[in-house]
Amino acid sequence: MKKILFQGAGVALITPMNPDFSINWDKLGELVDYQIEHHTDAIIACGTTAESAAMTEQEHMETVRFIYERTKGRVPVIASAGSNDTAAAVRMAKEAKEIGADGLLVVTPYYNKTSQRGLVAHYNKIADATDLPIVLYNVPGRTGLNILPATYKELSKHPNIVAVKEASGNVAQAAEIKHLCGDELQIYSGEDNVIVPILSVGGIGVISVLSHVVPEVVHNICALYLEGKTKESRELFLEYLDLANGLFMDVNPIPVKAAMNLMGFDVGSCRLPLCDTTQANIEALKKMLQGHGLIA
C-alpha cells in the first residue's frame, strides 16, 4: 500500500491579509499554531482557500516555506503546486520538495483545461519530477474539468500519486474511485458538507474549510468514524452541517474570512477580484456562529 499522508482533518489554510493586502505573516503564524493546538491533522498550504490564484509564484512559495518552518514537523504540510501550465507545476513541485513539504496538492489544469488523456500526461509529468506523494485535486466547479473514475484508475498506477481531494460533490463518483483504485488511491473529501458520506465509501479524511472555525470538531468527526463510532460521527457532522454550508454562502474564502473576523481572529479581507460579502451574509454567519457558541 502507498504512503498515507494523513488521516482525519487537514485544514486548507487561509492567507491572512494586512489592510494593504500584503500577507500578514504574524497572523499566519498564529493560525498555524492555533490549528495544531486544536488537533488539526495536516496543514494544506496555498490551496484555493489561501487565495493562491491571486498570489505571485514567489509569494506562493514564500508562504509554503513560512508554514513549513512554523509547523516544525508537528503535522504534515502539503503544499499546493497546481497550475494550468505543466512546466510551472513541475517547477513548484521541485521547490516545495526543497523547502521540505511532506506532500503536494495538485489541482487539475484550469481555463485551458485538457482531455482525460491530457490529464494523465500532465499528472505523470509532475509525478515523474518529484518523489513527494501527490494528492490530486478535483474541483470541477472551479476548473471546469472533472477527473473521470477511469482516469483516476490510470493515474493510481504511478507510485507517487497517492490520493485525491475529491471536491466534485459527487459521492457516487467517490464510490466508483474507491471501487476501481482500492488502496492505490486514498480519498479525502474536498467539501465539508459530505465528510461522512465520503468516509462511508472508504475515504480517510477531509481537506477542510470548516476546520478554520471548529478544528477540533472536524478532527473528531473523522476520528470517530475511523474508530468505528459511526453514529457519534454522523451526529456531530449533522450538528455542524449548517455551518459547513454557511461557509459557502459566498465565494470561498470570503465567508470563512468573515467568520474568522467575527470570531476575533482579524484575518483581513480577500484580495480582488474577491470582495467582502454582503451585510445580510454577515448577519447570517453571526447567527450561525452564535448558535454554535463560537461568538457571544
Active site residues: 137, 165
Q: How many CB atoms lie within 10 A of CB 272?
A: 8
SS3 assignment, position 131: coil
DSSP class of residue 271 equals P
Enclosing H/E stretch for 79: strand 77-80
Give the residue ranges of DSSP H helices in the chain.
25-37, 57-71, 86-99, 116-128, 140-143, 149-155, 171-181, 195-200, 215-226, 230-239, 241-246, 254-262, 279-291
Q: How far is CA 260 from the centre of its chain?
A: 17
Rounded to whole angstroms, the Cα distance separating 49 from 17 reads 13
- Residues 178 and 185: their CA atoms lie apart, in Å, by 8
Give CA–CA dist 256/141, Å, rounded.
18
